[in-house]
Structure 1
């Protein structure tokens, strides 16, 4: 009886250790990230999942040019502002939006969609777009292994691999 109990406890201990090691050993492929900041009194918050390059060609390959992209991984990226702002001179009312990008070699389209919670771009509905703005597509000399959003003094940037784009906000 005593041996049976010891065997059960030993088995459960080993099983628990294996589960813990497995959970901690797995790196999230696209960890959640947040970029936030204040521009002219408006608080901007961008929530996204940050995929890695992992040796892949990103722009024009993994992320095709000319097609709506969820601007991150997993759930669609969200963009939230607590005050009305102007993005590239166009008004975006205070609120929470899903954020998509149509990447291009020379310019990209930033899309703010009224359906804030959606998985990827699978159910993306253009008729729900609140604002679309065109911004220059640029090349960076710095490699970004993970997708990065950054709220800067006069707007926000998105950078990944050697590509970047920025929208001005006032």
Structure 2
């Protein structure tokens, strides 16, 4: 009888420790939480969903996010851009649908890439962007500007004229029609 009592107490202690650790792990803040922004542009419902990394005292542009190298445009899962209607971007038309959004940051010009493949992790095992160029639907360029305020977390905003990426001291506006 004593042995069964000891086994039950030991099992209860192990279970308590396990549940304590698992509840602590669940309360840990996510380093780059998922976020999204929605709005209307040119009569179309637009939604951008992304992982929102923080600056955390790091130099972002040209270091953490190198210039001239394709980037997943956020953290973790690939960023998605969805539109309910076709949009004009410069002289190009983006059909209604959901796309992965990649970018190639530059000091004076950015390239944004909309890719038909969605639902994948933002980078490959070697750390490169998980973009399959054969599925690129549209590529556009934008000029970065200094943002009006410092943005600790990367975010997007949607306006009546398009969208903008904001992070650290940079804003990259993209006009849509």
Q: Same fold (TM over 0.5)?
A: yes
2:71/2:102 contact within 8 Å kept: yes
Query: Which is worse superposed, 137-146 or 112-121?
Result: 112-121
TM-score of the superposition, structure 1-length normalised?
0.90
1:146 aligns with 2:176: no
C-alpha RMSD over aligned residues? 1.7
2:32/2:54 contact within 8 Å kept: yes
TM-score of the superposition, structure 2-length normalised?
0.87
1:68/1:121 contact within 8 Å kept: no
5+ residue gaps, structure 1, are none
3-state secondary structure, aligned to 2:40: strand
5+ residue gaps, structure 2, are 125-129
Query: Which is worse superposed, 85-94 or 9-18?
Result: 9-18
Aligned equivalent of 2:116, options 97, 114, 117: 114
The residue number in structure 2 matching 1:124 is 131
The residue number in structure 1 matching 2:140 is 133
1:2 deviates by 4.0
The residue number in structure 2 matching 1:167 is 174
Aligned equivalent of 1:54, options 42, 56, 61: 56
Residue by residue over 1:104-126, the C-alpha shift from the partner in whole angstroms, topping out at 9 and shown as x without a partner, is: 11111111112123322434222
How many aligned residue pairs are there?
169
1:3 deviates by 5.2
